[in-house]
Chain A
């Protein structure tokens, strides 16, 4: 080996060059179009390209809302969903409570998968004894007094907000829009681009009110899927951990909600899985620490000051 360093075996060099190429490729990766994980396997390299191509085609034909709609579209959908929800749920006009909720919520949103949306994250207390919260597309988040009454400290309020931020950042609302509406919008947009035409309100108004209706119905009647609730809980735990809150706070609020859970009730019981099931799923991700850490005195003081009389 020491005899002739110049004639060292070449494979090592090739491996290093390949490694360099791989590293360079990795650096470029964020700019490549995202292909859904698990869309194809790496087992059959010969078919890889074709499968990838058809996966893209299918994705396009199906018209996935999060791909066809821009953050600007998402923003207008979210505004109309919130405006619709606010017909039956009135805002709670306590500036102090709403200010606190926004400081807390915006701190959490910065630590989410998607910190910046078109219009930003905004939070509002609803004057309702029901136990409920709504994360509208784009980041308008409504939380009832009834749900805040299930919380005993800032960490638990943070857990509630982080769960809703999870639904927003993972775009669960958009996913509940019927695909035919998304295709309608994509069609109108393609036409507008091609014709250099102005706005086409008439062609879009049906797709818009339909989309808003799909999401409002999901939020108020049908609920998200069990899988989506699990994803939002997992994202909430991740956000809490990043910011320095106790992820166990989410399990604690769920336990209180479980005590107040009335199967067949019209609030979260109608739209969410049984809290006990969610706690069980959450435990697999965050474990179960026996004793909750004592809340910091400063956190507890500001929580009491803002939400003590909620």
Chain B
């Protein structure tokens, strides 16, 4: 047992180094409303909402959740599906001017298919019912407490998905 200790320790040190390297990663919010939660669960309270493109520092992980701190100093847990390792550049040229990031390392926010392209599409397709789509997006938004009540009353399990 004693013999195995030091190589195992070496392995563990490497493991810890790997974790520390991974945990030190900066990531960006890739959704419109990045939900920062008190605990790693969708039923946990939202402590702050981070905007699209906001940069966070990862300091820990649990399953598909990342413990992060925002540039403003807010900290909590975000689900991996709301984050990207890419740098999200809010204005074209910004990333190129400052960091020289390649296309695979960055995404241009508001570029490509965006509000203007949608407006152009709507003008050409008068029948397209964006009013109903807007209503659909804006109605029936629930607090974690409401979702928790639905899960509890139905005798369900508060489940977490993967991190695609």
Contacts and interface: CB of A to CB of B under 8 A. Distances in A.
A71 B15 contact: no
Contacts of B35: 116
A45 interface: no
B17 A24 contact: yes
Given A28-B18, A243-B159, A296 B154 contact: yes
A307 B17 CA distance: 54
Contacts of B128: 80, 83-84, 86-87
A182 B153 CA distance: 45
Interface in B53-90: 79-82, 85, 89
A113 B30 contact: no
Interface residues of A, number: 87
A295 to B, nearest CB: 10
Contact of A115 (B33, B42, B89): B42
B21 A115 contact: no
A201 interface: yes
B133 A79 contact: yes
Given A140-B133, A185-B112, A79 B118 contact: yes
Contacts of B79: 115-116
Given A83-B129, A87-B129, A16 B8 contact: yes
A182 to B, nearest CB: 11
Contacts of A262: none
Interface residues of B, number: 83
A168 to B, nearest CB: 11
Nearest to A197: B92
A115 B150 contact: no
A266 interface: no
A69 interface: yes
A70 B118 CA distance: 16
A31 to B, nearest CB: 6
Contact of A31 (B11, B25, B81, B104): B25
Given A17-B7, A98-B139, A119 B32 contact: yes
Q: Tell me whether chain A's interface is mostly helix, strand or loop, or mixed.
A: helix
B117 A208 contact: yes
Interface string B4-25: 1011101111110111011001
A283 interface: no
A284 to B, nearest CB: 22
Contacts of A189: 103, 108, 111-112
A106 interface: yes
**Most chain A beta-carbon contacts within 10 A, residue among B113, B121, B136, B156:** B113
A28 B132 contact: no
Contacts of B121: 80, 205, 208-209, 212
Given A27-B19, A302-B153, A192 B111 contact: yes
Interface in A249-303: 296, 298-299, 302
A40 B158 CA distance: 38
A114 interface: yes
A99 B146 CA distance: 12
Given A69-B113, A87-B128, 7 more contacts: A30-B80, A30-B163, A83-B125, A83-B132, A122-B140, A124-B132, A208-B117
5 contacts: A20-B15, A25-B18, A79-B130, A106-B142, A205-B120
